[in-house]
Structure 1
């Protein structure tokens, strides 16, 4: 045995081990320090009479920016019952006219929309109710990625349901984004950490109740052709306004 080479290998192994242990210790210290800061911020929130009705998940959350590409529709990929709707395709936009209007109940709009999506819409399980525009008589739906909404500044909805005066769906327009996940997954901010950022930046006044925090994917930049980059962000409701907290770098944007 060449003892000199063996000793060199052991030295290299121990160096790597020391670096790894040092990194683990640094991570633990940073986490401990942040936990202390978070605890202090939570105490300050209580003193300001700020009520928080959300909690952190038990496990860390990982995420990354995602890339969306508009899908071009074609007859071969669509399998619709032509007896219940007439379909027209305009590149990345699908337009449908229902043969018979689909009735909804104003008291259970979201449930009715969910059923309609399952029966009539291409990949309908990947959309959800967003809002009803009473003035235009249009229901707006958002596309989801892993159960979380995606949105950008250029458009607030990916499906529009056009209603008649009897509150029946008579037609709809749809676009579908094909999502590619980022390669580098990393731990992102937790809900309470996002709220803490807002508090530190003076975005949460006294006597505020916070009970709505949702993770979504948002783009604050114009689309590049048919592509769009979305960043994971926490959407926090503060006194009837919404704040977006970047779940990666903690930056804040008001909606």
Structure 2
């Protein structure tokens, strides 16, 4: 695959798509836009609960590009990882009785001390379960959400870890063809979800995290867009949604 050509074509399509989306946003959804602009405190007229959301500190973000790391091609790994644990783009370790325990703090310490580039990963409480602990790779402290190419998974039975799988993105950098844009505050994203009837006026926003989501993945290369991850309980159902943090594309991705 010619990645440079693919990336250039993607940028062109991306720009055209955003122009089209801007047209739709301005002309076809004028009533919704006016409602938000004229009522900046629109959520105060609902019972939407955002008390769990921390105060937002404005930050500028950009689209990222990177590559899926092939561990088998890294000479440095020969000193840090046992060769039998390397399986191309994965590091897989099977434990018997000497492995770590399925406790968050223990796995955080183990990841920092014993896992290859472990300091680049952070525990994902939202996506972890009792027998499956997930650590997301981060870029400048922002997590890379919900993708098999940028995380560590610990699986276990009871308190004992039985298996660790690691993947990693390398050469992460801001896209040279796009600009840094200030991320929208979570209250604005929630307003958009409410106005578009994606959530009701009684929704509870359990958590909101700012990070990156992989939107384009080739054989080796990836492109990531800034996203808000919102965990929402609404009408008896809990969902995790990923919403664009710097554009008004209207794209909403729901975690399976």
Please indicate, yes or no, whether the TM-score normalized by the shorter chain is above 0.5: yes
Larger radius of gyration: 1
Root mean square deviation, CA, Å: 3.0
Using a 3 Å threshold, how does the CA distance of structure 1 residues 203 and 192 change in structure 2: closer, same or farther?
Answer: same
The residue matched to 2:202 in structure 1 has which SS?
Answer: coil
Q: Post-superposition shift, 1:211?
A: 3.8
Using a 3 Å threshold, how does the CA distance of structure 1 residues 98 and 77 change in structure 2: closer, same or farther?
Answer: farther
Aligned to 1:45: 43
Structure 1 segment 195-234 matched on structure 2, within 5 A: 195-221=190-216, 223-234=217-228
Aligned to 2:89: 92
Q: Post-superposition shift, 1:190?
A: 1.8
The residue matched to 1:51 in structure 2 has which SS?
Answer: coil
Deviates more, 1:182-191 or 1:112-121: 182-191
Using a 3 Å threshold, how does the CA distance of structure 1 residues 133 and 126 change in structure 2: closer, same or farther?
Answer: same
Q: Post-superposition shift, 1:39?
A: 7.4
CA contact (8 A) 1:101 1:170 kept: no
CA–CA distance in structure 1, aligned partners of residues 185 and 118 of structure 2:
29
**Unaligned stretches of 5+ residues in structure 2:** 1-32
> Does 2:155 correspond to 1:162?
yes
CA contact (8 A) 2:100 2:110 kept: no
**Unaligned stretches of 5+ residues in structure 1:** 1-33
TM-score, normalised relative to structure 2:
0.69
Aligned to 1:143: 137
TM-score, normalised relative to structure 1:
0.70
